Amino acid sequence: MFDSLSRRQFVTGVSTGMALTSLGLPSAKVRAAGLLAAQPAVLSGRQFNLDIGYQQVNFTGAERTATTVNGSLPAPILRWKEGEQVSLRVTNHLAHDTSLHWHGMILPYQMDGVPGLSYAGIKPGETFEYRFDVKQSGTYWYHSHSGFQEQTGLYGAIVIDPKEPDPVAFDREYVVLLSDWSDTSPESIYANLKKLSHYYNFQERTVGDLWHEIREKGVTKTWQARKMWNQMRMSQADIADVTGYTYTYLMNGNTPASGWMGLFSKGEKIRLRFINGSAMSIFDVRIPGLKMTVVAADGQNIEPVTVDEFRIATAETYDVIVEPAADQAYTVFAQSIDRTGYARGTLAPDPSLQALIPAMDPRPVLSHRDMGMAHDGHDMGVMDHDMSAMGNDMGHDMSTMKHDMSGHSMHSQAMNAHVMNSKPGPAGFGSQAPVVHKPSERGPQTDMQAMSPLSGLDDQGIGLRDHAQLYGRKVLRYADIRNLTPTLDKRDPEREIQMHLTGNMSRYMWSIDGIKYADAEPVRLHYGERVRITLVNDTMMTHPMHLHGMWSELETGDPDYIPRKHTVIVQPGSKISYLVTADALGRWAYHCHMLYHMPGMHREVRVEHGGKKA
Amino acid sequence: MKTLSKFLSALLAFTVLQVQAMGEDDPLLVMGKLDQFEIRDTEGDNPRVLAGELWAGYDLSKLWLKLDAERVGGETEELEVQALYSRAISAFWNIQLGARFDDKPEPRRKWAVIGVQGLAPYFFDIDAALFFGEGGQVGLRLETEYEWMLTQRLVLSPDIEINLYGKNDPATEIGSGLADVEVGLRLRYEIRREFAPYIGVNWQKKYGKTADYAAGGDIEDAQVVIGVSAWF
């Protein structure tokens, strides 16, 4: 690992820059001079000094002020060893509060780095020492948990070497950290979205699209296909809130123009540690010409699965093994979910080689499935029925009211049934409980409800569903993931908590069960309990949900090998379930990892002794 | 630019005393919007028209100012200001309560306003308001606008405005019943989201008693317009 990294640095001549950055000195001029860091510095050991400060950067031709760790964007790669205790002294050189959160780490809550929950944050000029035992191995990351700082550059990789021999064999490894950079301040991006929610979407359906559709399908069918979207006042082209219009997608801090580069020798097994450290971007990753064997998800070893492509949501990590058999270059291609841009790098036996950069796939449009409608219906009768049950602000006011009322009584019945049948289904197979929309979900803060949400397990996700058929690419699904080692906590869940991810796209408001974080009570878990969390996505956006401090054990169908994740994609209009063992006392954050969804779509999870049994 | 960004980040440092675990969920925002800022080509002096709004507030409640003004030959012929409290009542609709002041034409008129503003199914922008004036006068205004995306930046936008009144008001030349209808069609190009020059046509006609009051003046007029729309 270190050999390959230092050789790489030597080859491209960025070692000077690296030396500067690892000393925490400003390296603005290094970057400006075009000597981009191909990979951030690696800091290893047990003691770390991390300095958070301002840093001039230039990714687009315009100079901007980033916030960085030790002057490096991304932040230095931290290399730890399982079983050791690490000490991280973080000093704040900013004019305002900051924090660092160790994403996916199992640690005491006071060390988790969430201002307001773990501690008060780090004040300007102060140093906070994090100290905790490293109890796991694999690929993780760290980032600021203050304000929107993460967007401005405060993120980096964590690689933890296992205590026992690594079950994954490889000759060489690279961190591949994906992120998104904007020259616009995050506060302005957020304000733009609130003023005009489609501000960054330049892929709306046009009159030209309509004309094509009419010519293809005829007026009647086109009208029917668009009727629901028109009535619900939603855009089928609403795939990403913030797009390549403002984002420059980065791979290890390199723009698509410069590209990241990783070297290999033919026949080597290369371990690529993919981390999505972006603020708002979901990437679809592939390396044309190479199969990828996924060996770990969110840092945890899984039964190897060989795929051609995988989706990585904000905050997820995947480790893959690739074995280039030829002396040629390969492009590591990470296109954004809405196909408005990509991050890229090159794997090559020689730094002078480059591979072809593939064209992006066609932009996806949302389907009925993404609205929580099981029927992708041509049957208008079925569709009308679904629609009437669906909206909380649809069509004519009177009919809406009627539907609301009938919907409501249906829900109360469902709720009673839910309470009576309180024993949740067995571990590993997900929820059998009815989907219940709470009354708090209704109001101006929400714009839709998924009435028949499908499980997101088998779903590759928007824009990927037809890739096997169209391009012969096997795309990773959550259903393909099995833990490498047996499930540790084999208990069935004692209770099930159903939470709905809610929002109003046009007002750009996000919440859980219709209640934003500021107004919400904590979710209380009692210490030691095994609980199932079922998330229902009542929006048409993809939400990567991150529970701090405890594993989200994704129920992918095999109770004996339940994979452990820290961030779980909840597909639009879909549901998903995972088990949590509440073995970590304290106050934890639980939120959507989309930076601009997070302020509202957020809960405190409080793990306490005692408490009432469900 | 660099100095400016330094100044701004220093300003931010002063205003954001404590940064929380995430960005501020529901910050106070201010938006100013020029919907129409245009010259209308007609016989005689070309009118200059300004229609826009300014709001400040939060996700669900805002204070709005709506402004409508028309100047012809250096004289302000029409100046109408509405000050409204806007409250979200459902996913796509806001209720707006407040006051309207007609500074021009004279004599001045004051109104109480109750309106709904929002997005109807099939993406029609709607603004409908009832006005309660002095002496039992009542007015009703219906406005709707639609946007056809010809391309991602070229937008063709038809709009219609209808005004009805309960009573005759000879001083301001307003008659009871349907008073006037205005229909526009504007083609704008969004250079940025916030800035779009446009060209278009605007047609207006007075009806009934209102038309009688205006006899001798313009009862019906169609104009070519050129202008910009912009917001921050």
| pLDDT, average across residues B188-194 | 97
Q: What is the pLDDT of residues A275-310, one digit of tens each?
A: 999 999 999 999 999 999 999 999 999 999 999 999
B215 close to A (CB below 8 A): no
Per DSSP, what are the bridge partners of residue B61? B87
B85 inside domain: yes
Beta bridge partners of B19: none
**From the candidates B4, B6, B11, B19, which should be mutated to test the interface with A, based on the most A CB atoms within 10 A?**
B19
pLDDT score at A387 = 36
- Give the whole-number percent of chain A exceeding pLDDT 90: 81
At A130 the pLDDT is 98
* Yes or no, beta carbons of B91 and A446 under 8 Å apart: yes
**Would you list the domain boundaries of chain A?**
2-165, 171-203+239-366, 388-461+477-608
Rounded average pLDDT over A300-326: 97
pLDDT at A83 over 70: yes
- DSSP state for residue A423 in the 8-state scheme: S
Mean pLDDT along residues A351-360: 95
What is the tally of structural domains in chain B?
Answer: 1
A115 has a chain B CB within 8 A of its CB: yes
Please provide the size of chain A in residues. Answer: 614
Residue B25 contacts A, CB cutoff 8 Å: yes
List the single residue in B31, B88, B91 with the smallest CB-CB distance to A392. B91
The DSSP H or E segment spanning A193 is helix A186-195
**What is the average pLDDT across B89-117?**
97
Give residue B44's pLDDT band: very low, low, confident or very high (50, 70, 90): confident
Asked whether residue A398 carries a pLDDT value surpassing 50, the answer given is: no
Residue A402 predicted with pLDDT over 60 = no
Residue A32, beta-bridge partner list: none
Domain of residue B51: give its range: 28-231
pLDDT score of A373: 79
* Cβ pair B149:A598 closer than 8 A: no
Please name the residues in contact with A399: beta carbons below 8 A apart, sequence gap of 6 or more.
A388
How many other C-beta atoms are found inside a 10 Å radius of the C-beta of residue A519? 12
Residue A97 has pLDDT above 60, yes or no: yes
The whole-angstrom distance between A503's CA and the closest CA on chain B is 10
A543 class by beta-carbon count within 10 Å (0-12 exposed, 13-18 middle, 19+ buried): buried
Mean pLDDT of A491-495: 96
The confidence band for B216, taking pLDDT boundaries of 50, 70 and 90, is confident
Can you spell out the DSSP letters for B183-232? EEEEEEE-SBTTEEEEEEEEEEEE-HHHHHHTTTS-SEEEEEEEEEEEE-
A146 touches chain B (CB under 8 A): yes
Q: Is residue B43 part of a domain?
A: yes
Write out A202-214 in H/E/C secondary structure: CCCCCHHHHHHHH
pLDDT above 70 covers a percentage of chain A that reads 85
- What rounded mean pLDDT belongs to chain A? 87
CATH number of residue B194's parent domain:
2.40.160.40
Please tell me the distance from the alpha carbon of residue A107 to that of residue A364, in angstroms, as a whole number: 39
Average pLDDT on B74-97 reads: 97
pLDDT-based confidence at residue A379 (cuts at 50, 70, 90): very low
Which one-letter DSSP state was computed for residue A259? Answer: -
**Architecture of the domain whose range is A388-461+477-608:** Sandwich (2.60)
pLDDT of residue A610: 77
- pLDDT at residue A35 in the model: 40
- Enumerate the residues of chain A whose CB falls inside 8 A of the CB of residue B31: 195
Which helix (H) or strand (E) is A248 found in, with range? strand A247-251
* Percentage of the residues of chain B whose pLDDT score is greater than 70: 91
**Tens digit of each residue's pLDDT (9 = 90 or more) over A510-559:** 999 999 999 999 999 999 999 999 999 999 999 999 999 999 999 999 99
Beta A101-103 vs A127-133: how paired, if at all? unpaired
Residue A477, SS3? coil
pLDDT of residue A380: 32
The pLDDT value recorded for residue A407 is: 37
A600 has pLDDT over 90: yes
Q: Which neighbouring-strand residues pair with A103? A: A141
Do B90 and A443 count as a contact with CB atoms less than 8 A apart? yes
Would you state the pLDDT for residue B15? 45
CATH architecture for residues A2-165: Sandwich (2.60)
Q: Is B9 among the domain residues?
A: no
Q: B193 to chain A: which residues are within 8 Å by CB?
A: 192, 196, 199
Helix pair angle (A2-12, A15-22), 10° resolution: 120
Per-residue pLDDT band at B14 (split at 50, 70, 90): very low
Under the banding of pLDDT at 50, 70 and 90, the label for residue B43 is: confident
Please count the residues of chain B: 232
Q: Is residue A123 within 8 Å of A152, Cβ to Cβ? A: no
Contact indicator for B175, B209 with CB cutoff of 8 Å:
yes
Q: Does the structure show a pLDDT above 70 at A20?
A: no
Q: Euclidean distance between the first and final Cα of chain B, in Å?
A: 19
pLDDT for the residue B54: 98
pLDDT at residue B100 tops 60: yes
pLDDT(A19) > 60: no
Residue pair B40/B60 in contact (Cβ under 8 Å)? The answer is no
Fold observed for domain A171-203+239-366: Immunoglobulin-like (2.60.40)
Query: In whole angstroms, what is the distance from residue B45 CA to residue A582 CA?
Result: 76
Burial (Cβ within 10 Å: 0-12, 13-18, ≥19) of residue A585 = middle
Q: Name the residue with higher pLDDT: B7 or B96.
A: B96
Which DSSP state fits A277? -
Condensed to tens digits (0 to 9), the pLDDT of residues B50-63 reads 999 999 999 999 99
Q: What is the mean pLDDT of chain B?
A: 92
Looking at residue B9, what is its pLDDT? Answer: 52
Place of tokens 């954004």: A336
The pLDDT of residue A225 is 86
In a domain, B21, yes or no: no
Q: How far is A16 from chain B (nearest CA, A)?
A: 27
Q: Has residue A322 got a pLDDT over 60? A: yes
Q: Does A229 touch chain B (CB under 8 A)?
A: no
The yes-or-no verdict on residue A29 having pLDDT over 70 is no
- In this model, does residue A468 exceed pLDDT 70? yes
- Amino acid of residue B68: D
Give the SS3 label for residue A18.
helix
How crowded is residue A96: how many other Cβ atoms within 10 Å of its Cβ? 21
Residue A22 buriedness (CB in 10 A; 0-12 / 13-18 / 19+): middle
Assess if residue B19 is contained within a domain: no
Find the CB nearest A65 among B9, B148, B193.
Answer: B9
Q: Which among A32-41, A169-178, A208-217 has the top mean pLDDT?
A: A169-178
Cα distance between residue A63 and residue B6, in whole Å:
12
pLDDT over 60 (residue A348): yes
CB contact under 8 A, B150 and A196: no
Terminal Cα distance for chain A, rounded: 49
pLDDT in tens, A143-157: 999 999 999 999 999
Report the distance separating Cα A385 and Cα A387, nearest Å: 5
pLDDT at position A331 over 50: yes
CA angle in degrees (0–180, nearest 5) for A478-A432-A578: 40
Does B95 touch chain A if contact means CB atoms closer than 8 Å? no
B172 to each of A413, B77, B80, how far by Cα in Å? 60, 11, 13
Q: Which of A115, A233, A445 sits opposite B21 (nearest CB)?
A: A115
Q: What confidence tens digit (pLDDT) does each residue in A418-428 have?
A: 444 568 999 99
Confirm or reject contact between B60 and chain A (CB < 8 A): yes
Q: What is the mean pLDDT of residues A224-228?
A: 88
- What is the average per-residue pLDDT within A464-471? 95
Which residue, B108, B36, B44, B103, is CA-closest to B74?
A: B44
**Residues above pLDDT 90, as percent of chain B:** 85
Amino acid identity of residue B144, one-letter, is T
Residue B122 lies in a domain: yes
- Contact at CB, B19 and A97, closer than 8 angstroms: yes
Name residue, tokens 């490894």: A173
Q: Are strands A300-307 and B148-149 parallel, antiparallel or unpaired?
A: unpaired
Q: What is the pLDDT of residue B97?
A: 98
**What H or E segment, with its residue span, contains residue A417?**
helix A397-420
State the DSSP code for A406: H
